């Protein structure tokens, strides 16, 4: 096979024109299966020792646990709108107060492109793009969003800024992509991106963050054995469930099951938390010891899990299972 590389353009934030001259060493225009084989065959030992170091933990710790069930797997967390939204934001829902943000990642992030069957999509990335990432987080926006949503340092209480800092400061890679839709094309987009990034940093576990409707893509990628093999965990934020996952080989026979996190809120008007909690219990009952957690934010709404989820807590729990 002739050596080839995926051409990407390092663009200023918000730029729309594709600029030339910058290259990222990703397997280019090769079939997704070939990229997957490259990632898997070249894989080094899993990043078992990686545990994310503290970063602004006191600001992002859960304020109070109201209820704990299932030996800690199910938690009901206190959410107080005045404290956790109104008093935390300088401009409500737009700009968090300065102590919650460190702009080191913003100064280093790049906007790049990836191509899938002639479709050119953009993504924002910060961290080990050239290889050697110990972990990769790909965060998918919900309906009506774009790549800028999960790269915004100031919205959602600064929680996107925190995960960007956690990846940058722990030799990881954080990516917020555009994708075509929430159907088969979008699934193919994210599959291509995740396999290409995994090929550049072989052995690095890939974690998917799935906000709202993008959970459809995540469940489908979990059901595919090829992409499931790359996943170190999946985080669902106010998202959907998929009973078809229970019939997949990933769930039924994968020896190292993919850790799952559900973050939901009691007043979510789009996806009822009770249905998600029911699905959580079905998974627990369907396979003994399955690694799954459910954090319920009491009185919160649809966007509350994005604002309140403790990224370091959940990712470190998932990373411990890489041994």
Tens-place pLDDT, residues 21-70: 333 334 334 444 444 444 444 443 444 569 999 999 999 999 999 999 99
Where do runs of H (alpha helix) occur along the chain?
32-41, 57-60, 81, 104-108, 159-169, 184-200, 215-223, 225-228, 249-253, 273-286, 304-308, 311-319
Predicted local confidence at residue 220, as pLDDT: 98
Predicted local confidence at residue 7, as pLDDT: 31
> Tens digit of pLDDT for each residue in 202-234?
999 999 999 999 999 999 999 999 999 999 999
> Tens digit of pLDDT for each residue in 254-307?
999 999 999 999 999 999 999 999 999 999 999 999 999 999 999 999 999 999
SS3 308: helix
The parent domain of residue 235 ranges over 6-322
- Report the percentage of the chain scoring pLDDT > 90: 84
Domain count for the chain: 1
Residues β-bridged to residue 210: 140, 236
Angle at 190 between CA 189 and CA 191, to 5 degrees: 90
Q: Is the pLDDT of residue 20 over 70?
A: no
Asked whether 214 and 162 are in contact (CB, 8 A), the reply is: no
> Tens digit of pLDDT for each residue in 233-244?
999 999 999 999
Instruction: Give the C-alpha distances (Å, rounded to integers) separating 245 from 205, 211, 314.
Output: 20, 18, 21
1 within some domain = no
Cα 313 to the center of its chain, rounded Å: 14
CATH number at residue 271: 3.40.50.1820
51 within some domain = yes
């Amino acid at each position: 096979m002739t050596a080839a590389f995926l051409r990407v353009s390092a663009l200023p934030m918000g730029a729309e024109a594709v600029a030339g001259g910058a290259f990222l060493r990703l397997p280019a225009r090769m079939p997704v299966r070939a990229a997957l084989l490259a990632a898997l065959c070249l894989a080094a030992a899993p990043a078992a020792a990686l545990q994310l170091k503290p970063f602004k933990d006191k600001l992002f710790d859960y304020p109070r646990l109201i209820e704990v069930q299932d030996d800690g797997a199910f938690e009901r967390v206190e959410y107080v709108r005045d404290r956790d939204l109104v008093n935390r934001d300088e401009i409500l829902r737009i700009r968090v107060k300065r102590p919650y943000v460190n702009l080191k990642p913003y100064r280093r992030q790049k906007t790049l492109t990836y191509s899938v069957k002639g479709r050119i999509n953009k993504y924002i990335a910060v961290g080990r793009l050239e290889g050697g990432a110990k972990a990769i987080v790909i965060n998918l926006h919900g309906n009506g969003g774009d790549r800028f949503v999960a790269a915004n340092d100031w919205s959602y209480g600064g929680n996107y800024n925190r995960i960007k800092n956690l990846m940058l400061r722990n030799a990881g890679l954080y990516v917020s992509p555009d994708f075509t839709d929430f159907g088969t094309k979008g699934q193919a987009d994210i599959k291509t991106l995740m396999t290409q990034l995994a090929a550049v940093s072989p052995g690095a576990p890939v974690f998917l963050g799935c906000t709202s409707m993008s959970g459809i893509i995540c469940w489908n990628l979990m059901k595919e054995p090829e992409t499931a093999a790359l996943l170190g965990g999946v985080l669902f934020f106010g998202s959907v469930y998929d009973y078809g996952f229970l019939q997949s080989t990933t769930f039924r026979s994968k020896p190292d099951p993919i850790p799952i996190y559900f973050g939901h809120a009691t007043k979510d008007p789009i996806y009822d938390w009770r249905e998600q909690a029911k699905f959580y219990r079905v998974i627990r009952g369907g396979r003994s010891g399955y690694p799954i957690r459910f954090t319920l934010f009491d009185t919160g709404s649809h966007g509350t899990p994005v604002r309140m989820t403790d990224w370091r807590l959940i990712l470190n729990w998932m990373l411990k299972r890489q041994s």
